[in-house]
Amino acid sequence: MRVKCAILAGSAMLCLLAAAPVAADKGGLRYTVAVTQFDNEAGWTGQWSIGNAWGTVLTDLLNDSGRFIVLGEQDMRYEALNEQDFAASGRTAGGSKAPETGQMTPAQILVKGAITHVQYDAGSGSGGVRISGFRIGGGGSKAEVNVTIYMVDSTTGMVVASESVVGTAGRRGLDVAYSEYDWGAAFGGEKVDNLGLAVADAAEQAVEFMIGELPSVAWRGTVVQVQGSKVFINRGTREGVSSGQQFIVGETSVIRDPDTGEVLDESVSELARLSCSQVKEKLSICDVTSGNAGAIQRGQGVMSL
């Protein structure tokens, strides 16, 4: 919860206790995630696309949470690939600013789902009084959005977790948090649309669900270089690594189903333990704190403790 205040006539101040959006957790390890456009199975049509709006809001909230490295949506990634192909064709001026191939960040988690039900009583806003950009009180019309969300492991293509969330315009008590975000374009320019509030509420619940599922998603890195007693791994501040972070390093073992080829289990056989002494954006330099330092080699797996 948080307090929001507004100055009224006569210098009086009105303070409100309002629900906060998903809090940023800057201390946790971060996962790369890509959001695909959600299917509008509810069949709702209006002045704005509910599938596109959902993707915009969910992407923004995932980014603000501090627990994910959010990649561009599928259409933007395709456009990036087209630019890379164009630059590689030799028909551009080239130079250091030309896009290069082989540099795109892969997603560890894919977010997919569908909007399954929309209940919307037409009407803009939920009544009440707007003070300094905030709407206070009022009942107004109702809106509800049902969304089913899937977290998919990009390596195996299997669903890691799934959840159905129901967003409503007034579930948080006061419809304040939604007005803080610049989502007007996503909702056809109408920032007080009740259906937009319901979408935002459902997206907040979806992000909370995803963060809660992260402990069940393996977080791993790879040794990229060994120089004497220093071990370089391909994870840095971008992935939430901090100085003093502890890891185990060793050979990665993958057990596959002989009938289907499906990955049944993946683990790192511990050879040594590492502690990060220097962390850069995409790279961490670690010291060996225990184990067989001489056995550490490029390409071995790294797993957080």
pLDDT tens, residue by residue, 54-101: 888 899 999 889 899 888 666 555 555 555 555 666 666 665 555 555
- The larger pLDDT score, comparing residue 37 to residue 41, is at 41
Residue 4 has pLDDT above 60, yes or no: no
Q: Is residue 87 in a domain?
A: no
- Closest listed residue to residue 213, CA positions, set 147, 305, 302, 150: 150
The last residue of one of the domains, among 193, 215, 237, is 215
Q: Is residue 1 in a domain?
A: no
Per-range mean pLDDT, top range of 2-11, 78-87, 166-175, 218-227:
218-227
pTM across the whole model = 0.67
Provide the 10 A C-beta neighbour count for residue 25: 13
Residue 161 is part of which domain span? 25-76+105-215
169 band by pLDDT with thresholds 50, 70 and 90: confident
Q: What is the CATH number of the domain that holds 269?
A: 2.40.10.410
Percent helix, strand and coil across the chain, each to the nearest 5: 25, 40, 40
165 band by pLDDT with thresholds 50, 70 and 90: very high
Number of structural domains (the chain) is 2
Residue 136 has pLDDT above 60, yes or no: no
Residue 28 has pLDDT above 60, yes or no: yes
pLDDT of res. 128: 45
Residues in the chain, how many?
Answer: 305
Q: Is residue 7 in a domain?
A: no
